[in-house]
Amino acid sequence: MKQYVIKFGLWTLSYFLLARFSMLAFSEQIANIALIWLPSGLALYLFVYHGGIRVLPAIFIASFAANFPGWQQFTLSDQLFYGSISALVDTQFALISGLLYLHLLPEGVRSPRELFRLAIFPCFFPCLITAAILSLALFQSGLISASEVLQNLVSISMGDMLGILILMPIFVAWHRRHEESFNHDASWHLGVVLAFVCIIGSFYFGRWLAFLFLPACLMIVFGTKSLYSYSVLAICLTLYNGLTIYLYDIQHLNSIHLQTLAFSVCSAFVVLAVTTQQRMLLKEFSLRDRWEHIAKHDALTGLASRESVFELVKSYMVSQNKNSAFCIAIIDIDLFKDINDTYGHLAGDKVLVEFTKCLSKNIRKSDVLGRIGGEEFLLYIPDSKVVDAVNLVNKLKDQISERPFEIGETQLLVTFSAGVSCWTLGDTLSDLMSRADQHLYQAKKGGRNKVVG
């Protein structure tokens, strides 16, 4: 109960502060109607990610407290009435928008198609309902004329939509900030500078300059993680709308007001669409890389798989000439079946992992080690003749045999046998493997813990 009271207070305070900020920074003629209504984005976020219907009383109270002073030209009873209407409208918006979001986008916005779904259902329709009720309330109160109802409806709905499009993505991106590993690169810094230059410069050198804001945003999007892209977008658009109010001294209903809103909504939507598409592609690339890694590597040891190590050796063979020299070694752990039978397969897996670590630690950087069977490994040894390769594998054999493996409380000595084969011009992979297999057989037959080449 105590935690809910604390959360309730934070929800109420944050909504109230955003509402008052929107009224002070983005409203001109009618104090309660803002060019951007930021609380719409906060309301949707709180409903979806935090309290559900439990946030509705907090939204009602905060909205009433924020809207009440805007009706001060009326009597106290009318002030209470219209303040309650405004609060109810904001509360029903959170309810309808939140329910639509949870029903249509249970996993959130993961693709541009789902972004369109967000824009139409949780965003446009609830905003339109809110705008219709508020426009009728303003008309009934005498604050706007009948001819201004339609323009007022468009203005309020776009302002609410803009609040969702620039604020909701920031909150959502905050939750997944650790999933994206981008750092700021040079294009991001340049894009941020250009974005602010375009926004501010459009008021002094011509409004055409604002249209260059979108290319600058693309540089921002591709230069960092989405949280920073959305944050810069929000700052730029709030600055653009705030300067429009301040410098143009606009009235609530005129063409500059609607042009500013339309430009802001379109810019926000385009940036969100590009960012969402980029995030989707990066996720697909990540999954593809992961599956490729899984396909090319042994799951237990992390070494190259049989297929990938064979392909690697084949590619090296193609690039060799008659003066080239490389060898392969087939390494087989001695009596590995006895380890599994005596200590269990989990112990056998542990031996394989530790065996792999020991080999990997002691081979050269140019050598390649892969697992080609249960307890069988292939070692590619470039720039080596048979004598060099046999000496290298013998050193590995000695290091393994002198190092006891811990299996629970048991110290287990492990050995291996190996067959080495050197490539000669005209050899195929089958030729190499066949000779190495024969040498491995000789090592096993000779008493194990031997290297034959």
- Residues 182, 221 contacting (CB under 8 angstroms): no
Q: Which residue has the higher pLDDT, 34 or 181?
A: 34
Say whether pLDDT at 357 is over 80. yes
Least confident of 45-49, 57-61, 218-222, 356-360: 218-222
- CATH of range 306-452; options 3.90.220.20, 1.40.20.10, 3.30.70.270, 3.30.420.40: 3.30.70.270
Residue with tokens 């965003």: 123
- Could you give phi then psi for residue 299, rounded to 5 degrees? -65, -35
Query: What pLDDT is attached to residue 123?
Result: 94
Of 289-303, 342-356, 373-387, minimum mean pLDDT range: 289-303
Residue 303 has pLDDT above 70, yes or no: yes
Average pLDDT over residues 230-251: 86
Identify the sign of the CA torsion 18, 21, 27, 33. positive
Angle between helices 149-175 and 39-46 (to 10 degrees): 50
The pLDDT assigned to 7 comes to 92
pLDDT band at 291 (very low <50, low <70, confident <90, very high): low
What's the pLDDT score for residue 286? 73
| Distance from C-alpha of 215 to C-alpha of 195, rounded to nearest angstrom | 8
**Averaged pLDDT of the chain:** 88
Range of weakest confidence among 8-17, 84-93, 222-231, 281-290: 281-290
Confidence (pLDDT) at 252:
53
Question: What's the rounded mean pLDDT across residues 357-386?
Answer: 90
- Is residue 29 very low, low, confident or very high in pLDDT (cuts 50, 70, 90)? low
- Over its C-alpha atoms, the chain yields an Rg (Å, rounded) of 34
pLDDT-derived band at 383, boundaries 50, 70, 90: confident
| Whether the Cβ atoms of residue 363 and residue 396 lie closer than 8 Å to each other | yes
Residue 424: band (very low, low, confident or very high) from pLDDT cuts 50, 70, 90: confident
* Cα-Cα-Cα-Cα dihedral sign, residues 191, 36, 27, 251: positive
Top-ranked range on mean pLDDT: pick from 134-143, 194-203, 250-259, 312-321? 194-203
377 DSSP β-pair partners: 331, 371
Amino acid identity, residue 361?
A: K
H helical segments located in 176-225: 186-201, 213-221
Q: Is pLDDT of 181 > 70?
A: no
pLDDT above 90 covers a percentage of the chain that reads 48
Task: Please give the pLDDT value at position 410.
Answer: 79
* 28/51 Cα distance (integer angstroms): 33
pLDDT of residue 251: 55
Q: Is the pLDDT of residue 201 over 90?
A: yes
Q: Which helix (H) or strand (E) holds 392?
A: helix 386-401
- 3-class state of residue 114 by DSSP: helix
Does 287 score more than 80 pLDDT?
Answer: no
In Å, how far are 94, 238, 408, 436, 439 from 40, measured between CA atoms?
7, 14, 60, 71, 75
Domain map (residue ranges) of the chain: 2-292, 306-452
pLDDT at residue 296 above 80?
Answer: no
Buried b (16+ CB within 10 A) or exposed e, 425-434: eebeeeebbe
Determine the pLDDT at residue 393: 93
**Average pLDDT rounded to a whole number, residues 2-11:** 90
Is the pLDDT at 100 greater than 60, yes or no?
yes
pLDDT value for 51:
82
Give the helix, strand, coil percentages of the chain, each rounded to 5: 70, 10, 20
| 379 within 8 A of 368, measured Cβ to Cβ | yes
Residue-wise pLDDT for 387-404, tens only, equals: 999 999 999 999 998 888
CA 381 from centre of chain:
40
Q: Mean pLDDT throughout 155-178?
A: 92
Nearest residue to 349 (alpha-carbon basis) of 393, 407, 297:
407
Average pLDDT estimate for 88-101: 96
Q: Quote the pLDDT of residue 198.
A: 94
